[in-house]
């Protein structure tokens, strides 16, 4: 046998024995408290109502809306296409294979953002990715999308654009009726806004 | 320091092709320098006159395996993110035997034929041409074998789980098997009539 | 590969590799902070819906100088200096898990002092509260409405609106009514992608999350 | 004995254990960086898919098998393995150049003609092409990387490829020795 064989044999046997002798080390499939805390500071954990409206309207196939309120609230009103997964059941829901969740952008919402945030923290502890909280929840949704405040005349162009978008979205979501305030807009044309809040792309 | 780097997003997507090129170069260099560009050297393993393939192959697989286990243990790499290919039992067996027959007739496997091409082996070029044709034939005939291809899906099984061993015990057993195989093949090699090439 | 002394190079490679692993093993990072509550337990604890401090109660606690309470301001030092609730200690969210802060929390836990966390809003305190709670600090509570409500909202114990503003999870609108009024056909979400769908959760064994490949 | 021959050869090619160790390091680095192992047949498949897409696009889209690998946004050629294989060609060329092995030739046993060897190589290539698709990977992708990641499929691939070759070796002995 040549020398290289002995070198290899010593090397492999040494490391192999090491592997057997190493004490078991706990491998947690959960994010540690520290990781969780640093996740909290990631601004992409929130998604604006405008962005959600845009994704619903453009029928973004990646969007997965999750209503974490209880079933009664859900039956009363929820966002179009939303799934009802009450906070209590959030960990029972089989995220992994029901919807190819890796490709999804999951948006959690409740009436405000507290319940959604609680669901978010739980899911994040389980290392789920691409989960976002709809900032302000349904209350904010009604304030901004369903019943948007018209901006002041002197408002910046941005703001007026945004209002136009929301106006259109409102008509879209409420079924095309003439808006409550006497806005002259007969055109129910969607004003496409530029993607400013790009969701973080994950995976491959 | 936690890998795998690209799936974890530590290295940007733009870099992965550059890395692919570099890794490929290292791969090709090692293969060629070990003699994998010669079909007669490769075939030697089946006729007992040259067991280089077995040595390189086993040593590489075991070294990488042991390294991965250590990296996983130390938390440098998240082993659950390492791709474990799924076992489609019948397809794997039939495919493997077909490849075995291809190996003994063609004298190369895909990676080594690339090394052969790089240093000007015409047989390697023909082999690769054959592979292109073979893949084309398979794709055209895919409906015929679809049942086998997608059937008997056992999932992404790990061998130590199937055998009910811990990773460490399995690793040391495999190491011992490999070392014994190296000794035996050396003896066989010395007994078998030398083939000049 | 051309090596003048293949065996020597081999030994060198092997030794380097083994050294890397040995150093790795020696410097293995110590287990990070741990959770005391499992996820299921923390869901339960969330559903119990305790650990809330109502702002009007806090006014009383501060005025009566009730013992056994400590206020933690989670906002950044700059905001803290600009104004904070009297007697609060500033621990910005980032640093709640630092060693000395945890030591402090341990002390409070030992003498069962109630720790009231607050941020600018309740949302700001929610995450830190949940993390500390899951780590087993039972004495953590959250101030509803946060600093914002405490400094701006009505706080008269005997004269609170039926649904105070700080209960943010209460619907601020009659969603169904508004949708109806604005022309949604019989509550249906017209023009919508699809009907809301109820998903029946399935209990399933946990499975590995990661699928290989792209 | 042909000891001189052996020494000659061991000078010519690197020591197999050292090569194996280095290959293991390359493989480990690949896993560490990309989360998956090395591969070769995938690149060849990409080439076939690209060719079919180029010359018969509708056919490719209708085929069950091709359509798996065509997606709108990424060109099948623009594939990790393809770049890896380009690297392999470069690396092997470099090694061959350093060792003075660059030479256009057909390597065959003196007992057979070049023509026979080429026919056999082509035949083997076809079989390997079919087998690698059915078995979802070749010696490097399925067997080597699979063994390193301890996957059952990797060990099955290794056993069946080598087992198959050993089984058929007897029938093809006159082509090699």
Phi, psi torsion values for C116, nearest 5 degrees: -100, 115
**A63-72, A156-165, B7-16, B25-34: which has the minimum mean pLDDT?**
B7-16
D90 lies in the same domain as D20: yes
Q: Is the pLDDT of residue A184 over 80?
A: no
State the pLDDT at residue C193: 43
For D8, counting Cβ atoms within 10 Å of its Cβ (0-12 exposed, 13-18 middle, 19+ buried), the class is exposed
- Best of B2, B69, B74 to mutate (most C CBs within 10 Å, chain C): B74
- Best of D125, D140, D147, D156 to mutate (most B CBs within 10 Å, chain B): D125
Q: Is the pLDDT of residue B145 over 70?
A: yes
Subunit contact C183:A177, Cβ cutoff 8 A: yes
**A183-187, D155-159, D172-176: which has the minimum mean pLDDT?**
A183-187
Decide if D147 is inside a domain: yes
Residue A28 binned pLDDT confidence (cut-offs 50, 70, 90): low
**B108-117, B168-177, C40-49: which has the minimum mean pLDDT?**
C40-49
State the pLDDT at residue A192: 45
Q: Is-contact B158 D150, C-beta < 8 A?
A: yes
Residue D78 binned pLDDT confidence (cut-offs 50, 70, 90): low
List CB contacts (< 8 A) between A71 and chain C: 198
Q: Is the pLDDT of residue C100 over 50?
A: yes
Q: How far is A2 from chain D (nearest CA, A)?
A: 9
Decide if D90 is inside a domain: yes
Residue B158, SS3 per DSSP:
strand
Question: Does the structure's ipTM exceed the value 0.85?
Answer: no
D95 lies in the same domain as D111: no
Does residue D151 have a cis bond before it (omega within 30 degrees)? no
State the pLDDT at residue C187: 42
Q: Is-contact C131 A121, C-beta < 8 A?
A: yes
Q: Read off the pLDDT of each residue in A114-135 and give the average, rounded to a whole number.
A: 90
Measure the CA–CA gap between B173 and D150, rounded to whole angstroms: 13
Subunit contact D20:A5, Cβ cutoff 8 A: no
Q: Is the pLDDT of residue A186 over 60?
A: no
D70 lies in the same domain as D116: no
Subunit contact C13:D21, Cβ cutoff 8 A: yes
Measure the CA–CA gap between D44 and D25, rounded to whole angstroms: 24
Subunit contact B59:D16, Cβ cutoff 8 A: yes
D27 lies in the same domain as D48: yes
Q: Is-contact C165 C173, C-beta < 8 A?
A: no
Q: Is the pLDDT of residue C203 over 50?
A: no
State the pLDDT at residue C199: 53
- As a whole number, the mean pLDDT across chain C is 80
Measure the CA–CA gap between D118 and D124, rounded to whole angstroms: 10
Q: Read off the pLDDT of each residue in C33-42 and give the average, rounded to a whole number.
A: 85
Does D169 lie at the interface with B, CB-CB under 8 angstroms?
A: yes
State the pLDDT at residue A160: 84
Q: How wide is the angle at C-alpha B176 spanned by C-alphas B171 and B177, nearest 5°?
A: 95
Q: Read off the pLDDT of each residue in C27-36 and give the average, rounded to a whole number.
A: 74
Subunit contact A5:D18, Cβ cutoff 8 A: no
Q: Is-contact D27 D145, C-beta < 8 A?
A: yes
Q: Read off the pLDDT of each residue in B145-168 and give the average, rounded to a whole number.
A: 86
Q: How wide is the angle at C-alpha A202 spanned by C-alphas A201 and A203, nearest 5°?
A: 135
Q: Is the pLDDT of residue D69 over 80?
A: no
**C9: which 2 tokens?**
């190079």
Measure the CA–CA gap between D66 and D75, rounded to whole angstroms: 13
Q: Please report, rounded to a whole number, the percentage of residues in chain C having pLDDT higher than 70.
A: 82
User: Domain tally for chain D?
Assistant: 2
State the pLDDT at residue D75: 55
Which residues numbered 3-62 in B keep a CB inside 8 Å of some CB on C?
A: 29-30, 33
Q: How far is D149 from chain C (nearest CA, A)?
A: 12
**C–D interface: beta-carbon pairs under 8 A:** 28
Q: Is the pLDDT of residue C192 over 80?
A: no
Q: Read off the pLDDT of each residue in D22-48 and give the average, rounded to a whole number.
A: 87
List CB contacts (< 8 A) between D17 and chain C: 10
D98 lies in the same domain as D150: no
Q: Read off the pLDDT of each residue in B163-167 and give the average, rounded to a whole number.
A: 89
Neighbours of chain A (3+ CB pairs under 8 A): B, C, D
Which is more confidently placed, B32 or A103?
A: B32
Q: Residue holding tokens 């029938």?
A: D171
Q: pLDDT tens digits, residue range A59-91? A: 888 888 999 998 888 988 899 888 888 888 888
Residue B93 binned pLDDT confidence (cut-offs 50, 70, 90): very high
Measure the CA–CA gap between C166 and A74, rounded to whole angstroms: 22
Subunit contact C6:D36, Cβ cutoff 8 A: no
List CB contacts (< 8 A) between B170 and chain D: 150
List CB contacts (< 8 A) between D14 and chain C: 1-3, 6
Q: Read off the pLDDT of each residue in C94-117 and give the average, rounded to a whole number.
A: 90
Measure the CA–CA gap between D140 and B57, rounded to whole angstroms: 9
Subunit contact A175:C185, Cβ cutoff 8 A: yes
Q: Is the pLDDT of residue D131 over 60?
A: yes
Does A7 lie at the interface with D, CB-CB under 8 angstroms?
A: yes
**A85-99, A105-119, D158-172: which has the minimum mean pLDDT?**
A85-99
**B–C interface: beta-carbon pairs under 8 A:** 27
C-alpha pair distances (Å), D165 with each of A197, B45, D15, D142, D148: 57, 10, 24, 16, 22
Among the residues of chain D, which ranges form H helices? 3-12, 16-34, 41-55, 57-62, 64-69, 80-99, 114-134, 145-148, 152-169, 173-176
Decide if D64 is inside a domain: yes
Q: Read off the pLDDT of each residue in A110-117 and give the average, rounded to a whole number.
A: 92
In C, minimum Cα distance to B83 occurs at: C212
Q: Read off the pLDDT of each residue in D36-58 and give the average, rounded to a whole number.
A: 82
Q: Is-contact A168 A190, C-beta < 8 A?
A: yes
Query: HEC string of chain A?
Result: CCHHHHHHHHHHHHHHHHHHHCCCCCCCCCCCHHHHHHHHCCHHHEECHHHHHHHHHCCCCCEEEEECCCHHHHHHCCCCCCEECCHHHCCCCCHHHHCCHHHCEEEEECCCCHHHHHHHHHHHHCCCCCEEEECCHHHHHHHHHHCCCCCCCCCCHHHHHHHHHHHHHHHHHHCCCCCCCCCCCCCCCCCCCCCCCCCCCCCC
Which is more confidently placed, A204 or A163?
A: A163
Q: How far is B73 from chain C (nearest CA, A)?
A: 9
D99 lies in the same domain as D150: no
State the pLDDT at residue C156: 78
State the pLDDT at residue A20: 87
Does C8 lie at the interface with D, CB-CB under 8 angstroms?
A: no
Last residue of a domain, one of D70, D103, D136: D103
List CB contacts (< 8 A) between C179 and chain A: 77, 146, 174
Which is more confidently placed, D50 or B95?
A: B95
Nearest-CB residue to C212 (from D17, D36, D98)? D36
D98 lies in the same domain as D50: yes
State the pLDDT at residue D50: 82
| Domain ranges for chain C | 1-30, 39-152
- Best of D18, D26, D80 to mutate (most C CBs within 10 Å, chain C): D18
**C3-7, C175-179, C186-190: which has the minimum mean pLDDT?**
C186-190
Last residue of a domain, one of D62, D81, D103: D103
Measure the CA–CA gap between C130 and A119, rounded to whole angstroms: 10
Q: How far is C9 from chain D (nearest CA, A)?
A: 9
Range of the domain at D170: 105-177
Q: Is the pLDDT of residue D152 over 80?
A: yes
- As a whole number, the mean pLDDT across chain A is 79
Nearest-CB residue to B168 (from A12, A13, A20)? A20
Q: Read off the pLDDT of each residue in C123-139 and give the average, rounded to a whole number.
A: 92
Subunit contact B32:D168, Cβ cutoff 8 A: no
- Best of A6, A8, A201 to mutate (most D CBs within 10 Å, chain D): A8
Q: How far is C123 from chain A (nearest CA, A)?
A: 6
C-alpha pair distances (Å), D74 with each of A204, B21, C175, C192: 12, 18, 43, 31
CATH topology of domain A33-142: Oxidized Rhodanese; domain 1 (3.40.250)
Chain centre to alpha carbon of residue B5 = 22
Subunit contact C1:B74, Cβ cutoff 8 A: no
D159 lies in the same domain as D109: yes
Q: How far is C70 from chain D (nearest CA, A)?
A: 47
Residue C117, SS3 per DSSP:
strand
Q: How far is D72 from chain B (nearest CA, A)?
A: 18
**C7: which 2 tokens?**
């065996």
Decide if D9 is inside a domain: no
Q: Read off the pLDDT of each residue in D95-111 and give the average, rounded to a whole number.
A: 88
Which residues numbered 54-113 in D keep a CB inside 8 Å of some CB on B?
A: 63-66, 80-81, 83-96, 99, 101-109
Question: Which CATH number does the domain C39-152 belong to among 3.30.1130.10, 3.40.250.10, 3.50.50.60, 3.90.105.10?
Answer: 3.40.250.10
Q: Please report, rounded to a whole number, the percentage of residues in chain A having pLDDT higher than 70.
A: 79
Q: How far is C1 from chain D (nearest CA, A)?
A: 6
Decide if D5 is inside a domain: no
Which is more confidently placed, D62 or C110?
A: C110
Subunit contact B95:D136, Cβ cutoff 8 A: yes
State the pLDDT at residue D3: 40
């Amino acid at each position: 046998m040549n020398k290289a064989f002995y070198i290899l044999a010593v090397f492999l046997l040494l490391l192999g024995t090491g592997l057997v002798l190493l004490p078991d080390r706990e491998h947690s499939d959960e994010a540690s408290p520290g990781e969780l805390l640093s996740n909290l500071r990631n601004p992409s954990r929130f998604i604006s109502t405008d962005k959600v409206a845009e994704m619903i309207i453009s029928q973004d196939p990646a969007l997965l809306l999750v209503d974490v309120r209880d079933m009664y609230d859900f039956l009363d009103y929820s966002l179009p296409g939303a799934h009802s997964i009450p906070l209590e059941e959030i960990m029972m829901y089989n995220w992994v294979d029901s919807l190819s969740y890796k490709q999804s952008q999951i948006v959690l919402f409740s009436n405000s953002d507290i319940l959604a945030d609680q669901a978010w923290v739980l899911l994040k502890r389980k290392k789920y990715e691409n989960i976002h909280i709809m900032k302000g929840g349904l209350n904010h949704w009604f304030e901004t999308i369903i019943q948007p405040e018209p901006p002041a005349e002197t408002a910046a162009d941005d703001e007026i654009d945004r209002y136009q978008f929301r106006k259109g979205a409102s008509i879209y979501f409420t079924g095309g009726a003439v808006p409550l305030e006497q806005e002259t807009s007969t055109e129910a044309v969607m004003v496409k806004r530029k993607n400013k809040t790009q969701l973080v792309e994950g995976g491959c | 320091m936690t890998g795998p780097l690209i799936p974890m997003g530590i290295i940007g997507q733009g870099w992965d092709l550059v890395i692919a090129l570099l890794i490929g170069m290292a791969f090709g260099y090692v293969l060629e320098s070990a003699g994998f560009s010669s079909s007669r050297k490769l075939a030697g393993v089946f006729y007992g006159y040259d067991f280089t393939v077995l040595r390189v192959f086993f040593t590489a697989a075991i070294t990488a395996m042991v390294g991965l286990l250590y990296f996983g243990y130390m938390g440098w790499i998240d082993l659950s993110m390492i791709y474990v290919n799924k076992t489609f039992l019948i397809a794997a067996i039939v495919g493997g035997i077909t490849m075995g027959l291809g190996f003994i007739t063609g004298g190369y496997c895909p990676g080594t034929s690339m090394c052969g091409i790089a240093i000007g082996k015409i047989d390697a070029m023909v082999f690769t041409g054959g592979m292109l044709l073979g893949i084309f034939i398979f794709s055209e005939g895919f409906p015929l074998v679809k049942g086998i291809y997608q059937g008997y899906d056992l999932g992404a099984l790990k061998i130590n789980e199937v055998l009910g061993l811990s990773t460490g015990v399995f690793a040391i057993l495999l190491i011992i098997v490999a070392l014994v195989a190296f000794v035996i093949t050396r003896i066989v090699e010395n007994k078998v009539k030398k083939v000049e090439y | 590969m051309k090596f003048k002394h293949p065996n020597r190079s081999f030994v060198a490679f092997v030794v380097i590799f083994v050294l890397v692993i040995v150093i790795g093993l020696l410097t293995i990072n110590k287990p990070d902070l741990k959770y005391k509550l499992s996820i299921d337990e923390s869901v339960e604890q969330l559903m119990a819906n305790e650990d809330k401090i109502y702002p009007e109660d806090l006014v009383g606690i501060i005025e009566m100088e009730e013992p056994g309470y400590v206020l933690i301001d989670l906002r950044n030092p700059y905001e803290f200096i600009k104004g904070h609730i009297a007697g609060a200690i500033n621990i910005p969210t980032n640093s709640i898990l630092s060693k000395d802060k945890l030591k402090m929390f341990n002390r409070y836990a030992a003498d069962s002092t109630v720790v009231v966390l607050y941020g600018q809003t309740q949302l700001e305190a929610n995450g830190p509260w949940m993390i500390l709670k899951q780590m087993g600090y039972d004495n953590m509570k959250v101030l509803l409405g946060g600093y914002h409500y405490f400094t701006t909202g009505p706080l008269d114990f005997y004269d609170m609106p039926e649904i105070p503003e700080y209960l943010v999870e209460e619907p601020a609108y009659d969603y169904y009514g508004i949708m109806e009024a604005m022309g949604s056909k019989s509550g249906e979400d017209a023009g919508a992608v699809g009907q809301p769908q109820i998903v029946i959760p399935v209990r399933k064994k946990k499975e590995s999350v990661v699928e290989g490949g792209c | 004995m042909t000891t001189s021959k052996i020494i000659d050869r061991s000078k010519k090619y690197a020591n197999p254990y050292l090569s194996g160790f280095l290959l293991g390091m390359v493989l480990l680095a690949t896993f560490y960086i990309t989360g998956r192992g090395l591969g070769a047949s995938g690149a060849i498949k990409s080439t076939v898919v690209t060719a079919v897409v180029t010359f018969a696009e509708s056919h490719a889209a209708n085929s069950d098998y091709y359509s798996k690998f065509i997606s709108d946004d990424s060109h099948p050629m623009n594939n990790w393995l393809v770049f890896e294989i380009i690297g392999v060609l470069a690396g092997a060329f470099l090694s061959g150049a350093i060792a003075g092995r660059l030479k256009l030739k057909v390597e065959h046993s003196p007992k057979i003609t070049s023509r026979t060897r080429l026919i056999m190589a082509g035949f083997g290539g076809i079989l390997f092409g079919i087998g690698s698709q059915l078995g979802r990977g070749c010696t490097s992708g399925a067997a080597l990387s699979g063994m390193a990641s301890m996957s059952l499929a990797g060990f099955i691939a290794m056993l069946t490829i080598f087992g198959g070759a050993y089984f058929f070796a007897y029938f093809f002995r006159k082509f090699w020795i």
